[in-house]
Amino acid sequence: MLDTATLEDYFNTNVRRERLIAYLAGFFGALALGLASVGLYGVMAYAVTRRTREVGIRMALGAQRADVMRMIVIDSLAPVITGVAVGLATALTLTRLLASMLYGVAPHDPVSVMGATAVMLVVALLAAVFPARRASSVEPMEALHYE
């Protein structure tokens, strides 16, 4: 008996494994991005919170709240921007090794690369702004007694 099927059915059965691997890779990539975001937020928020005493001293000496916040945000984002630049250079270099394993996606997919970069930068910005706002709103005498 002849086993007949459409070309689409034949194609779908032959690429099922590759599709599953692609979905799993996408899921684990999104999970890794989420975990990296949570970790980045925690480390940066902790680093900014540790500067509460410094903020109190600056405020006691007459610094404006906006100037203190700007200083903290710039100081906090500098290592993140450096890390993103090194990570982008490394990722773009190593994609040549992975190019043969990609199916239907360009090795230098700008949407994925820019999306992950944007997520990291937004998380870093939020992790710097919220604790900086909290630290700069504390009374200088209270901040000096902090720790």
Q: Domain spans of the chain?
A: 7-144
Kindly report, residue by residue over 31-86, the tens digit of the pLDDT. 998 898 899 888 888 888 888 888 888 888 888 888 888 888 888 888 889 998 99
Q: Is 76 exposed, middle or buried (0-12, 13-18, 19+ CB in 10 A)?
A: buried
Q: In this predicted structure, what is the pLDDT of residue 103?
A: 65
pTM: 0.70
DSSP codes of every residue in 88-114 = HHHHHHHHHHHGGG-SSS-TT-HHHHH
Instruction: Provide CB contacts within 8 A for 99, sequence distance 6+.
Output: 107
- According to the model, what pLDDT value does residue 105 have? 67
